[in-house]
Structure 1
Amino acid sequence: MSEIILHHYAGSPFAEKARMMLGFKGLAWQSVDIPPIMPKPDLTALTGGYRKTPVMQVGADIYCDTATIARQLDRIQPLPSLYPEGREAVAASAAQFADQVMFQHGVALNFQPHAVAERFGKAPENVMKAFLADRKKLFEGGSASPLHPAQALSQWPTLLGRLEQQLEDSGTFLLGEEPCIVDFAYYHPLWFVRSNKAVSSMLDPYPQVQAWLDAVAACGHGEPTDLDSAQAIEIARKSTPESLPESGFRDHNGIEVGQTVSVSAVDYGVDPVTGTLVYQDAEEIVVRREDDRAGELHVHFPRYGFRLSPEKQ
């Protein structure tokens, strides 16, 4: 199997989630630094249009969304597992909640004017304006709307109070003595808050949460080495997508392997990716596409939270 390549940038919360999962697995990986805003020509050459961060690449296989990345990491290295045996549904559902609800709150706190000013520091004003304009466009056409900071401030004690109470009884981590997907899903939006001095005091009333954040952070980021984005594209071009297993899955909308389809997120960042459906099961959708620079690629998406639509011929 080819080496793991993560396309990300330092300040992305979901990229931090992926980096922490790689650290949990103790894996070596190659790090491609991508722009935080569009355009991202080298990334979209690999994904076909998907623009969210991060994206994981293994040869000519491209994994979009941290839910798909997590399941692929468990295939690459089954132990320690991100999904505790016998608690898979609870873990996946709690992680989904954190990735949506807790993430919205972490972002809303960081997008208060004083928090934006702190995060951008001495960066030129045009850089900050470009970032904010990009994030506004990110939400266009999706089902999710940015959470208003006043609502996030109102609900913050509820979310953090629940975490604080559970951590008093659950052990070091949220589902016991070992970290799992739930810890990493809750960790990244709170890391985003903790990393901004303008809002980090929002964690002060919660000592159990702070101790848990330190315990999760101790997983580290694994063993990254830098890689240029052009090199990553060349690796994809010289690789062949991994063979796919047999699947008897039947889509309830009648969409079948071999059809031309589009896949897009439903919440935000809804840019569609078009290709030939080559695999689907209850968790994953895979489309084959061709790129002039990167060659033949298999692009992997989660089923949950994404729209699969047939393309008109």
Structure 2
Amino acid sequence: MTNLILHHYPTSPFSEKIRLVLGYKQLAWKSVIIPAIMPKPDVLALTGGYRKTPILQIGSDVYCDTALICDVLEHIQPTPALVPESHGGVARVLAQWADTTLFWAAMAYNLQPKGAASLFDGAPVEAAKAFGADRAAMSTGMTRLRPADATAAYKSYLRRITNMLDGQNFLMGSAPCVADFAVYHPLWFSRKRVPVMAGILDATPAVLHWMDRMEALGHGKMEKYTATESIAACVDSTRASAPFDQMFQDEHGIPLGSRVTIAAENFGQEPTEGELVAATRTRYTLRREDARAGTVHVHFPRIGYVLRAVQGT
């Protein structure tokens, strides 16, 4: 049985997306709680630079970005399926929209002063300031929606989601797919993490009923695990697993074996450096050495990430 180790924290919306996928597929997994903000020394020992949440670890393989994590879990446990056979492309495109456009509109709405105060209610003032500074550093150069614009957009998106649910229990039919999990998590943040802001959902009761159905999927079979144990599991892994698709697809003129960096296109642009050992149709894999974790293979999706050769190597 594959040992799935999810590095996450409770209030992370993207982590909730993956926790629900694990529940939908009834998978057993180990839970490593990580800090919400930097420093994250145990995370960086595994990723080499990438610091967004969550990451999925299987032995010495580390998977970054929830779009890729969903593909990995689909490969491990094909049923129930995340990607519908007849409308796979539509489901993936809708999920990408939800993880980007919908997410940023929802979060700009959620973290208005009233929502932020609710999120950090009872916490020291310094904690809220540190979180704000951390996220500002991650979003350098991004265009952020103003609250009024975000509110209007969020309301429109909720109405469109209602339209998608007309006559069916989930966005693309009688069963949830990858799009449902991607659409759900920013709305979950509104409803569960900043309930003072959840009134925006009341105008779309069909969305609330759908959210109840999604929540009922649960989180699978979770076992607590420590960061120390996860790093030891990486060291003890005999070898990294090969990517699903071995074919090399060169779009950059960078051969395998080159020293490269991979970083997100916008939010959280901290690069990971290593040896490029795979570049398939859908993903990149870097091999890197870490003093604590040993040899690690770090996997990224192509979409949303930038590959660059390290100069002078």
Structure 1 length-normalised TM: 0.96
Quote the residue 2:147 is aligned against: 149
Which of 214, 217, 232 is residue 215 of structure 2 equivalent to?
217
Structure 1 segment 139-288 matched on structure 2, within 5 A: 139-141=139-141, 144-169=142-167, 171-195=168-192, 196-239=194-237, 240-244=239-243, 247-288=246-287
Q: The residue matched to 2:228 in structure 1 has which SS?
A: helix
Letter in structure 1 aligned against 2:264: A
Quote the residue 1:297 is aligned against: 296
| Distance in 2 (alpha carbons) for counterparts of 1:306 and 1:147 | 22
Q: The residue matched to 2:39 in structure 1 has which SS?
A: coil
Deviation at 1:248, TM superposition (A): 3.0
Native 8 Å contact 1:250 1:256 kept in 2: no
Structure 1 residues without counterparts, runs of 5 or longer: none
**Identity over aligned pairs, percent:** 45
Structure 1 segment 30-49 matched on structure 2, within 5 A: 30-49=30-49
Deviation at 1:216, TM superposition (A): 0.9
Deviation at 1:244, TM superposition (A): 4.2
Structure 1 segment 4-19 matched on structure 2, within 5 A: 4-19=4-19
Letter in structure 2 aligned against 1:301: F
- Classify 1:46/1:103 alpha carbon distance in 2 versus 1 (closer, same or farther; 3 Å): same
Quote the residue 2:20 is aligned against: 20
Q: The residue matched to 2:165 in structure 1 has which SS?
A: helix
Deviation at 1:294, TM superposition (A): 0.4
Native 8 Å contact 1:174 1:183 kept in 2: yes
What does the per-residue CA deviation read over 1:140-181, in whole Å, with 9 as the maximum and x for residues that have no partner?
25xx33222111112222111111122123x10000000010
Deviation at 1:89, TM superposition (A): 1.0
Structure 1 segment 96-175 matched on structure 2, within 5 A: 96-141=96-141, 144-169=142-167, 171-175=168-172
- Classify 1:236/1:101 alpha carbon distance in 2 versus 1 (closer, same or farther; 3 Å): same
Which 4+ stretches in 1 moved above 4 angstroms? none
Q: The residue matched to 1:221 in structure 2 has which SS?
A: coil
Quote the residue 2:75 is aligned against: 75
Deviation at 1:15, TM superposition (A): 0.4
Native 8 Å contact 2:46 2:296 kept in 1: yes
| Distance in 1 (alpha carbons) for counterparts of 2:224 and 2:245 | 35
Q: The residue matched to 2:130 in structure 1 has which SS?
A: helix
Deviation at 1:194, TM superposition (A): 0.7
Letter in structure 1 aligned against 2:294: G
- Classify 1:108/1:293 alpha carbon distance in 2 versus 1 (closer, same or farther; 3 Å): same
Structure 2 length-normalised TM: 0.96
| Distance in 2 (alpha carbons) for counterparts of 1:118 and 1:248 | 49
Structure 2 residues without counterparts, runs of 5 or longer: none
Letter in structure 1 aligned against 2:303: Y
What does the per-residue CA deviation read over 1:60-106, in whole Å, with 9 as the maximum and x for residues that have no partner?
00000001100000111111111111322111110000000111122
Native 8 Å contact 2:52 2:268 kept in 1: yes
Native 8 Å contact 2:164 2:172 kept in 1: no
Letter in structure 1 aligned against 2:60: A
